[in-house]
Amino acid sequence: YIIPVVFHIIHNNGAENISDAQVYDAVRVLNQDYNKLNTDWTTVRPDFLDRVADVGIEFRLATIDPQGNCTNGVTRTVSTQTYDGDFEMTQLIQWPRNRYMNIWVAASAGDGVAGYTYYPMWLDNWPEADGIVVDHTYVGAIGTSSTYHSRVLTHEVGHWLNLAHCWGSTNEPGEQSNCSSDDGVADTPNTVGWTACNLNGATCGSPLDNVENYMEYSYCCKMFTEGQGDRMIAALTSGVAQRSSLWQPNNLLQTGVTTAPVLCNAGFTHGRSDVCVGSTVQFTDISYHGVTERLWNFPGGTPSTSTEAAPIVQYDTPGTYPVTMQVSDGVNELTVVQESLVHVFQSPGIDVPVTEGFESTTLNDVAWNAVDNDGDGTFAPTSLAAYTGNQSVRLTNTTSSDGRKDYLYSPTYDLSDATDILITFRYAFAQRNASNDDRLRFYVSNNCGLTWSMRKQLRAGTDLNTVGIVGGDLIPNGPDQWGLAVVDNISSSYHAENFRLRFEFESDGGNNVYIDDININGVSVGMQEPVWDGSGFMIVPNPASSVAHVLFTLPDAGMVAVDLLDALGREVLPLHQGTLGAGQHRLAIPMETLSNGMYLLRVVRKEGASTRRFVVNGSR
């Protein structure tokens, strides 16, 4: 018997978006287990060796979809419902159950289970739920799964073909009352059920329990019994839940599992595509079907061409580069081109201090780069609003579904000589209703974006909301509708020559979000000068809104300069220049002239200088 199969990968661009190779491996495991081709069946406890079944069912990935189009038997759907793994998730996509066995792969199968399905009799009048839901870490033996987890799908297909657990139709092994239950199969001894591998277990008296059965929870399973095989074949040849339609010759032709497939799709995957000079990127051909030849072209890369299935290419020159792949099955040829795919950043990066106001920046190049994993829009330059200048970047959040994530990446910066790092940026956001919990997260990387560390999170219900509740599209109409974020919790381990920033916005029903005026100060002002001990130097209050003073104590009389600087060390205004006597001094800060933001106050004497950070935050 042959069953056409389709795997629906429901993902949110996480690890649950498993590779085609992992799906193919899952089919391999199923076919071994259902045809007594698994090598470990010979190690089954001797009491059960004579009843190990060759069930005689083969699973083949469909090569023709319900519309008659070419497929590899794998679909991919982006949805946050992958975290629920429930009935609503399965309704995102389903192929006709009388033609395909549907398997949905998710980040979670729900309620902490590895997978689930229902008996055919339960599904007979419920076709919408017909199929198997499985956690991605239990699919096949490679990728995000493991050999230890690989038999879960074998177990769930058993249920789909009318097998109960060895202890009966409950999900509660270990209960002594299970000895009074039955799985409807004569050659599987009654048992309370196992969650461990005790090969000497005889929980209902004599005989021994069949602990190594695929329908146990023991995770040392290796076999079906002959009786279980007969029960599954009976289900497959029954009209209940249309199982008998699957293996009919006409359906096998219509789903493409008994004809030689032709080349119909050219495609490839790749590793990280934003790298620093000298780095490598691996590309993998996932074209189907029957590829016999391929030719890659890698402008800017070494090698510049390749015929391998998974070439590794090195990029040594900053820039943005396309990738082209041509494949052939000896008769047909297909070509795929991905323009502006590889972004190669300079290393060392851009010198700091630096300010990015997005006045002339084009995203998706080797400067700032926006990533839209789900195809519903992402960060883009806008002239509708800006804190300063004429432009900012905006994410039109009104088109994003809840839980979607969008990203904005920086180029590389050289902070290798920094003694301190201070980063500030402006943002604007509004909720649509008080329950919105959108989040803006800020990350840093010290290795060109290979790994990231979160340094700040702003939430809609607290510090992200700068405008209030706005029903229509948010367009900030003044500086008072912008907030200031200050990031100073960046350790010396991030003083690297290929330092990068990343903004991540997670939607939850709120309004648009804007970002502007990103400032990176890689060297604290005054730290290169001889250090004055800064005795008694403080700003009170700090942060301040309407009134603030700078206090400091001088050990002796002398020339003193007190300056107010912006976050990049540029002078805003002088507070004092001239001689001051020994002792404590207090100078008023003209708050009415200052906008909200981060400043630096510097006191300079002939012996050296000392600097303090100062935050202005409030209406004046």
Residue located via tokens 């350790």: 491
Spatial distance between the Cα atoms of 168 and 183, rounded to a whole number of angstroms: 5
Spatial distance between the Cα atoms of 320 and 301, rounded to a whole number of angstroms: 11
Spatial distance between the Cα atoms of 596 and 618, rounded to a whole number of angstroms: 7
Query: How many CA atoms lie within 13 Å of 436's alpha carbon, on the beta-carbon side?
Result: 30
Whether 158 and 215 have beta carbons less than 8 Å apart is answered as: yes
Whether 484 and 378 have beta carbons less than 8 Å apart is answered as: no
Residue located via tokens 């015929």: 307
What DSSP line would sit under 339-368, residue for residue? EEEEEEE-SS-EESSEEE--SSPPSSSSSS
Identified catalytic residue from 16, 58, 128, 156 = 156
- Say which residues have a Cβ less than 8 Å from residue 256's Cβ, sequence separation at least 6: 4, 62, 63, 64, 70, 71
Per the annotation, the verdict on 156 as an active-site residue is yes
Alpha helices in 163-238 (DSSP H): 226-236
- Smallest CA-to-CA distance from 12 within 82, 103, 115 is with 82
- What residue type is 354 in one-letter code? V
b/e per residue, 36-56, with b = 16+ CB within 10 A?
A: bebeebeebeeebeebbbebe
Total residue length of the chain: 620
Longest Cα–Cα distance in the chain: 103
State both tokens at 602: 């510097």
Strand order, beta sheet including 274-276: 274-276, 333-345, 319-328, 293-297, 305-306
Spatial distance between the Cα atoms of 403 and 408, rounded to a whole number of angstroms: 17
In terms of phi and psi (left: phi > 0; alpha: psi -120 to 50; beta: otherwise), the region of 234 is alpha
Dihedral angle sign, alpha carbons of residues 9, 15, 21, 27: negative
- Smallest CA-to-CA distance from 394 within 511, 308, 278 is with 511
Which residues are the active-site residues?
156
